[in-house]
Structure 1
Amino acid sequence: MVNALTRARASGTIIRMNIDPRLLRQARIAHTALLLTVIFGLAGGLLVLAQASSLSAVIARVFIGKQSLAQVIPLLRWLLAVFILRAGVVLGGEVAANGVAVRVKGSLRELLLEKLIRLGPAYQARQESGELVASALQGVESLDAYFSQFLPQLVLAAMIPLAVLVAVFPRDLLSGAVLLLTAPLIPIFMILIGRLSEALTTRQFTALKRMSAFFLDTLQGLTTLKALGQSHNRAARISEVSECYRRATMGVLQTTFLSALVLELVGTLSTAIVAVEIGLRLMYGRLGFEQALFILIVAPEFYLPLRTLGLRFHAGMSGVAAARRIFEILDTPETDARSQSGNVYRSARLTGSWIDQPVCFESVTYYYPGREEAVLKDISFCIQPGELVALVGRSGAGKSTLAHLLLGFIQPTGGKIRAGHQRMQDIPIEDWRRQIAWVGQQPVLFQGSLVDNLRIAKDDASLEEIQRAAEQAGLAEVVAALPSGWDTRIGDGGVGLSGGQAQRLALARAFLRDAPLLILDEPTAHLDPVQEMALADVTRRLCVDRTVLVIAHRLQTVREADNILVLEDGHLVEMGQHDDLLAQGGAYARLLRAGEGGE
């Protein structure tokens, strides 16, 4: 069935009917359930014909043939069986349709999350997080009606009227011709109204995405807004955004109700035409009573699938509007060079570890998508095994981009990165990242227990390993003071923990991961002096026997670095130790005099 719809779309025989080939490809994963939905629906249509035939026969025999109850008992039993069977078929169709929607939605969410993970933080930082969440949750959810209602109804709208015509034409040629001629009126009006509905539905989903992004940004910055006394102004802005979404939604509902009215009116008028021509011929004795009654019963059922398709059309429109954004994300080119060159399938593995191999950037250049100027320009340097390398520069110099390259979130536009003699592009990303531990200024903590948050670093870590890492990071004392110990649950962003406790948890992750390469983004930068001093010793212990890259925002933290890299406007302008660079009086000395490190 899915293949037939795809061919129809390709040949242009289905016009403006919300048939998206990419959505049809997704439907193939639930093709069995989709086929069952159509079979149950078609069986229901055929049972309607059987029901109409039995009912018309019973009425004709009782009122025209003057038969007794005993004579029509077999037909009444058959009619009862048809009623029961039809109810079972309707239930089976709904169950199968829900199965289609559940499987496809689950698959799409999985694809979307996997794609976002592959695109990495560099892509997500350029997007509104609330909008991405709305696409993954509400956007995918809006496809429920598309797969469970619209697609099956699209097939049934063609098959059930055809079955009715097959049953009507042998009984009355004129009535069959009237049904055939009036049937296209409903799709025509549906398409005309659908053009307006398409624009309104797209506008509604765009308003929903913007409102979701705006509301999430407001929640995340609520503390700052309160501190600056801007919460009332923000509340007024939220009201404006909500009103915009309300107007868009009401516009869609208005069009939907208008469509329902028009389709019901067309269906009623078409049925009335059939009823009038049958009544006139029945009056003059040109049509049998049983035939006339059968046709009158099935005439509304002939138009019902087409009218239902009109209602499902709007549900399908909402799904297609949401799918556009979903597939826009899925179609986003990945900057990961592995996927571009096909090296993701190579079986290369890191030989040894980075503890005994230099990590080198060789003429690395990087352009962010859509930007004409490179953020990193012809960068070349090596991090020797066991070295502590500091990366300094003003804000926007390219420090975070360089760290993202090393973490594998993005890949160089030009040049290459290698570990020993192996190019980064030739190493599976899982193996590459397994060698790295990252500790940032604000650790990313999730809702869950402390153990759950630690096992992000090593999902198969035993409790003994977790406790050992916690002791090394000074987290064990914190856990011992908590009422629920390791089972203590925290909220998103570390709600329930102080800033120092959250950073100890992040450092414990790094100890637990025990990777040879450590990237530090000044984990003590936002702490008070007492907490900073307490964590400084932990950080120094973490750096022992590891290769370390420190993104320095305060230059006093890099004096003991083995090598200092100075970035300026994307260029590596200086490289050396503190005293040597200071004596040169160049970019590093100017940063030091200005007291800047890129914050």
Structure 2
Amino acid sequence: MLSLLGVLTAFSVLLQAEGLATLLTGGGVSLPLLVAIAARAGLSWGHGVLSGRFAVSVRDALRQRLLRSASDRAGVVATQVTRGVDATDSYLTGYLPSLVVSVVVPAAVIVRLFTADLVSALVVVVTLPLIPVFAVLVGKQAKASVQWELLTKLGGHFLDVVRGLGTLKVFGRAAAQAATVRSMASAHADATMKTLRVAFLSALVLELVATLSVALVAVPIGFRLLSGDLDARSALLILVLTPEAYLPLRAAGAKFHAAAEGLTALREALSAPVVSPRSAVSARRRGAPSLVLERVSVSYEGVPALSEVDLAVPAGSRIAVVGPSGSGKSTLLAVLLGFVPPSSGRVLVDGVDLRSLAPAAWLEDVAWVPQRPTLFRGSLASNIALGLPSADVPFAARAAALDSLAAGLPQGFETPVGEVVSAGQRQRIGLARALARTSAGLVLLDEPTARLDSRTEDAVLSATRRLLPGRTAVLVAHRPAMVSLADRVIELRGGRVRPEVAA
């Protein structure tokens, strides 16, 4: 559609030039001239509408793609989804339509100039490539990619600082990180100013080249007109058409620098790895599943987290995963949840590849307790049920030793959950969520007793014992009390499974 509008724009330019040449030589205002002027105005409006709609659809598609990104850098993805996607607007609505017109209109003008005056057409043909050549030479000095890279690093680092602000305050590192953020912001500001300086220089160079090129045509035309070698109408037609040949290229060059950041962001978004949507297969049986990991490997930006892990978990069994921090235990649970796709290998659930299962249906059959359960705005009951209408909240709370907490609250289970909840109570709320999912056949626990005192740990362990019977369980554990709940113990070191030890 943009190509068709470009062809119509070229036709209207030629028609307008013919009408202006006739008007300026005493021919009067003609109907084709009025039609051409109206057509150029309408085509300009049409370009804006179509490119705007196209930009909206592209931005929506980019956001959906980025939200499905397999990247684990939340800060970078957040910057791409917001600033990066919005920055593509200047490229999609400004530079791209101008690029189409800059190809079609100069070609049409040159063809018409060849029929009007061979010498002028040759001058335009020789000088016209100077505009893109100089634009490329100057544009190479623009650091739009560096500017965007600095912005994404700043966004990612800032999000990490905000997330860990409490820890930074505890260890007295908040001021140092604030200085780092200021330094990164200053570097981005410097890169932006350098890009703007190059953009202004580019505009000056393009205007100068276009003006000199038009002068190379206009001056000889004037002398030939005075000598009688050229009639007035042909001279005016050439003088009107010549700037039209350079105008689209000047406009595209001027808009390129404004669109450079958006183009860089667009390329980065399109190159981002995406988790492909998984299609559902026939419904698997509900209940305790059997799990088989076949040479499963996971890497984060080239750094291996799991390396060819082979593991079999029979239905209804309980295994404990132990190992030092950073050995890949939490990554193993993320793979079983389906949150992190294996770089190689596969996970079989009752003999079916996990990637072929519908994510929503699989997660309905999983009870998961992370290291630090997330609490949402709302009541204690809604945090335990967590969107499960059939949840028996009092039973789950009683099983997780939370009934005493609810009894001491002014509104019981309907009391809003705030920051006053302790670490132990937060863990028990996470366990209560898992206990409320009575139909879940798989239990995944990620060190639920970490950072708890012995009394709270006993309460959590007691709730965990109520959670495990009749289910398949994978327990990430550091403390012996949690390991004692398992039938088997496996050890992860460096992302690899070590020989099994006795439970």
If the length of structure 2 is used for normalisation, what is the TM-score?
Answer: 0.82
1:216 aligns with 2:147: no
328 and 450 in structure 1: CA distance in 2 versus 1, 3 angstrom threshold: farther
2:21 and 2:375 mapped to 1: Cα distance?
69
1:439 aligns with 2:369: yes
The residue correspondences of 1:37-186 to structure 2 (distance < 5 A) are 37-61=2-26, 72=28, 75=30, 79=33, 82-114=36-68, 116=69, 119=70, 124=72, 128-186=73-131
1:353 aligns with 2:286: yes
145 and 465 in structure 1: CA distance in 2 versus 1, 3 angstrom threshold: same
Query: Alpha-carbon deviation of 1:219?
Result: 1.6
**Matching residue's letter, 1:522:** E
1:444 and 1:58 mapped to 2: Cα distance?
75
Query: Alpha-carbon deviation of 1:365?
Result: 5.8
Cα distance per residue 1:227-286 (max 9 Å; x no partner):
333333222222211121112112211211111111100011111222212221222233
Q: 1:245 aligns with which of 188, 198, 215?
A: 188
Structure 1, 282-291 or 297-306: larger mean CA deviation: 282-291
Q: Secondary structure at the match of 1:518?
A: strand
Q: Secondary structure at the match of 1:249?
A: helix
1:84 and 1:148 mapped to 2: Cα distance?
22
1:89 and 1:294 mapped to 2: Cα distance?
22
Structure 2 partner of 1:424: 353
8 Å Cα contact 1:383-1:389 kept in structure 2: no
Query: Alpha-carbon deviation of 1:158?
Result: 1.6
Structure 1, 164-173 or 474-483: larger mean CA deviation: 474-483
8 Å Cα contact 1:393-1:567 kept in structure 2: yes
1:93 and 1:452 mapped to 2: Cα distance?
54
Structure 1 partner of 2:234: 291
2:232 and 2:307 mapped to 1: Cα distance?
86
8 Å Cα contact 1:391-1:552 kept in structure 2: yes
1:50 and 1:412 mapped to 2: Cα distance?
60
1:327 and 1:537 mapped to 2: Cα distance?
49
8 Å Cα contact 1:153-1:305 kept in structure 2: yes
Query: Alpha-carbon deviation of 1:516?
Result: 0.5
The residue correspondences of 1:309-328 to structure 2 (distance < 5 A) are 309-328=252-271
Query: Alpha-carbon deviation of 1:302?
Result: 1.7
Cα distance per residue 1:330-353 (max 9 Å; x no partner):
3x8x7x9xx9xxxx6794653x23
1:499 and 1:532 mapped to 2: Cα distance?
11
47 and 382 in structure 1: CA distance in 2 versus 1, 3 angstrom threshold: closer
2:111 and 2:429 mapped to 1: Cα distance?
72
Q: Secondary structure at the match of 2:448?
A: coil
2:173 and 2:335 mapped to 1: Cα distance?
38
8 Å Cα contact 2:214-2:243 kept in structure 1: yes
1:472 aligns with 2:396: yes
Query: Alpha-carbon deviation of 1:165?
Result: 2.5
2:237 and 2:421 mapped to 1: Cα distance?
74
524 and 306 in structure 1: CA distance in 2 versus 1, 3 angstrom threshold: same
Unpaired runs of at least 5, structure 1:
1-34, 66-71, 578-599
Q: Secondary structure at the match of 1:465?
A: coil
Larger RCO of the pair (alpha carbons < 8 Å, separation 6+): 2
Question: Number of matched residues?
Answer: 494
Structure 2 partner of 1:382: 313
1:376 and 1:482 mapped to 2: Cα distance?
50
Q: 1:554 aligns with which of 479, 485, 494?
A: 479
Query: Alpha-carbon deviation of 1:206?
Result: 1.4
Q: Secondary structure at the match of 2:473?
A: strand
Unpaired runs of at least 5, structure 2:
none
322 and 429 in structure 1: CA distance in 2 versus 1, 3 angstrom threshold: same
Query: Alpha-carbon deviation of 1:303?
Result: 0.7
8 Å Cα contact 1:389-1:563 kept in structure 2: yes
